[in-house]
Amino acid sequence: MSELYSISKKIISTGKGILAADESTATMTKRLNAVKVPSTPENRLLFRETLLSSQSMKNCIGGVILYDETVKQIASNKKTIPELISSTGAVPGIKVDTGAKVLANSKDEKITEGLDGLRDRLKEYYKLGARFTKWRAVYVISDKFPSKLSIHTNAHALARYAALVQETGMVPIVEPEVLMDGEHNAQDCFVKTSEVLKKCYDELILNKVDLKGTILKPNMILPGSISKEKMECRKVAELTLKCLKESVPSEVPGIAFLSGGQTEKEATENLNEINKLNNTDFIMTYSYGRALQQSALKFWSKNIKDINGTQNTFNHRANMCSLAAQGKWTEEIENK
Ligand code: 5MM
């Protein structure tokens, strides 16, 4: 078993998923402002350290994606944040893209940047303890989007990123996120997501990326956030599985979904249904940001010193996601 493959398996092994705590300072400031907590480096660290010291880290979280600021911070027990994560059995990871910027010649779309100087930054992150990385490309859906230009350029960047990451001995998470924003229906999401994924794998293969040492982080197939279409979780699961089966090469060991604006419960229920119906060899799990942290952040904001209460809230969510990753979640357990 190759080193990269064993890292991927460790991150997503049965019942475990990924905590996406890689909000950039701008995004974290938005999240903290929304709950009226000042966005200082100390508060950002305190919230994240509270989650990372939770009891559910051991059984539910196989990997944590960090942002540049956090990977260099020191926890209150004097361990570095990557050391704190490793001590729970999880693998420390790092977001290495530098954000989605306006795409030249298609100004309503985005291209993710960060390739310049990436090889050197990766070496530094490896020394700091990271063993996997993340790069997120975003695509909008409308009658004319995503354009061929956006699909092609983002796939190219994702593949060059993934090749460099593997060269450094880390596992690249490939995150092509087809955004939920808009009025489109689930069929549009299915068609566009399939096109995006197929192009990504064409480029990954062209760049000789070892697919066994990667993890895919896609969106689920859902109607747009302001679409009139309502969809049962069974249908979401069927369409999502069909799309992934047709578009993702079987060498990829696992798929860790983003939550993309779903509520905590929707993201849990949909993942649970995907696992109940899973007719593929892929491990299907979570790499949630908002759907793992929202309630905990809300609770914490009422009293940032209430570490136990915040951890209990996070533990519940992480346990629900872990059950969903095994197709064992139920409404009764959720409400217990
Ligand atoms: C955690 O949020 C990440 C984005 O941060 P920036 O926008 O500040 O770069 C994001 O990439 C996240 O990892 C994924 O979108 C999954 O998060 P959600 O909240 O969609 O599960």
Is 325:15 a contact under the CB 8 Å cutoff?
yes
Q: How far is the CA of 109 from the centre of ligand 1 (A)?
A: 18
Task: For residue range 193-230, list pLDDT tens digits in order.
Answer: 999 999 999 999 999 999 999 999 999 999 999 999 99
Nearest CA to ligand 1 atom 20: 260
pLDDT on residue 14? 85
- The model carries a pTM of 0.98
Number of domains in the chain: 1
Q: Is 93 in the pocket of ligand 1 (CB under 6 A)?
A: no
Rg (CA), the chain: 19
Q: Is 330 in the pocket of ligand 1 (CB under 6 A)?
A: no
Instruction: Provide the β-strand partners of residue 300.
Output: none
Nearest CA to ligand 1 atom 3: 23
For the chain, the distance separating the N- and C-terminal CA atoms, rounded to the nearest angstrom, is 41
Task: For residue range 24-63, list pLDDT tens digits in order.
Answer: 999 999 999 999 999 999 999 999 999 999 999 999 999 9
Catalytic entry in 9, 110, 134, 217? 217
Told to judge if 101 belongs to the known catalytic residues of this protein, a careful annotator would answer no
Q: What CA–CA distance (Å, rounded) separates 150 from 110? A: 7
Work out the number of other CB atoms within 10 angstroms of the CB of residue 62.
Answer: 30
Q: What CA–CA distance (Å, rounded) separates 58 from 254? A: 20
pLDDT on residue 131? 98
Give me the CATH number covering residue 74: 3.20.20.70
161 is in which domain, residue-wise?
2-334
Strands 171-178 and 100-103, how do they pair? unpaired
Angle, alpha carbons 134-138-142 (nearest 5°): 160
Told to judge if 232 belongs to the known catalytic residues of this protein, a careful annotator would answer no
Q: What CA–CA distance (Å, rounded) separates 86 from 14? A: 18
pLDDT on residue 215? 98
Beta-strand runs (E) in the chain:
17-20, 61-66, 91-95, 100-103, 106-112, 132-139, 171-178, 215-216, 254-257, 283-288
Q: What CA–CA distance (Å, rounded) separates 250 from 247? A: 9
Q: Which two tokens stand for residue 331?
A: 């409404």
pLDDT on residue 1? 56
Residue spans of the chain under pLDDT 70: 1
pLDDT on residue 168? 98
For tokens 């929707």, name the residue.
266
